Amino acid sequence: MGNVVRSRTCGLKDIYAALVTTNSSEKYVAGTPVKLARAIKAKVDETWSSEKIYSDDGTEDVISSYEGTSVELEVNALAPQDRELVFGQLYDNGFLVKTSDDLAPEVAIGWRERKLNGKYDFKWLYVGKFSEGISEEASTKEDKLSPVTKTIKGSFYERSLDNRYEISVDESNLLDEYTDAATAITNWFSAVQEYVASSDDASEAEETTETEETAESEEA
């Protein structure tokens, strides 16, 4: 293992969103990502809960469970096409129409965070909804212009296929042999990225499968 690099985050850019068209226990499908807006700030809070199990007058175990990830994005502006994608509002023939029946669709979001060493940390959250709406304001023009930003809030969670909820690649810690991850970040926003197992892991999985099949044959 090479030297572990820990560099502080000092930037944020390239927020992308992709419509999740299938999120079931059999299949996960996300559409082609589109750039959402210019990034100002992102607040991402991952929540876990834990519960102690007691026996023999002491703690036997601690059970932890993932409860979700809350996301708050501050961006420069939202086009009506962005609102259609993340809020499920109707944009047709130049009109943006909002109703109380609008349902935010499931989306994946990705972005990259710049480190002080010039490298980036690339991220995708697999599935969630921006169902908490948008915070925005406007003010009259004064002697000095005061541009405002937009803030959207959402809740993200694990996908049904395999309970994965996030994937990331820290460019600072890529070793020469991590070729799949290095290739992924060259086109990180072309698609919602998937984990590629190392050849060693794949070999172990094949050996395990072969062993199980042999045992089943012997039992039969």
Beta-bridged to residue 47, according to DSSP, are: 68
Place of tokens 């965070």: 113
User: What confidence score (pLDDT) does residue 154 get?
Assistant: 96
User: pLDDT tens for residues 133-147?
Assistant: 787 765 556 666 667
> Which ranges of the chain does DSSP label H, i.e. alpha helix?
80-87, 179-186, 199-219
Give me 192's structure tokens.
């919602």
- Is the entire prediction scored with pTM above 0.75? yes
User: What confidence score (pLDDT) does residue 209 get?
Assistant: 47
**Number of C-beta neighbours around residue 113 at 10 A:** 21
Distance CA 183, CA 98 (A): 41
User: What would the mean pLDDT of 110-124 be, rounded to a whole number?
Assistant: 97
Distance CA 135, CA 74 (A): 9
pLDDT surpasses 80 at 125 = yes
HSE value, Cβ hemisphere, 13 Å, CA-based, for 126: 21
User: pLDDT tens for residues 152-208?
Assistant: 999 999 999 999 999 999 999 999 999 999 999 999 999 999 999 987 665 555 554
Distance CA 130, CA 88 (A): 9
Phi, then psi, of 130 in degrees rounded to 5: -95, 60
* Region class of 184: left (phi > 0), else alpha (psi between -120 and 50), else beta: alpha
Distance CA 198, CA 178 (A): 8
Name the residue with higher pLDDT: 125 or 205.
125
Name the residue with higher pLDDT: 154 or 212.
154
Q: Please report the beta strands in the chain, taking only residues with DSSP state E, as ranges in sequence order.
A: 9-23, 28-30, 34-37, 39-55, 58-75, 90-92, 95-97, 107-115, 120-129, 134-135, 150-157, 166-170
User: What would the mean pLDDT of 94-119 be, rounded to a whole number?
Assistant: 96
pLDDT surpasses 60 at 107 = yes
Beta-bridged to residue 48, according to DSSP, are: 66
User: pLDDT tens for residues 26-71?
Assistant: 999 999 999 999 999 999 999 999 999 999 888 989 999 999 999 9
Distance CA 77, CA 81 (A): 11
pLDDT surpasses 50 at 25 = yes
User: What confidence score (pLDDT) does residue 132 get?
Assistant: 82
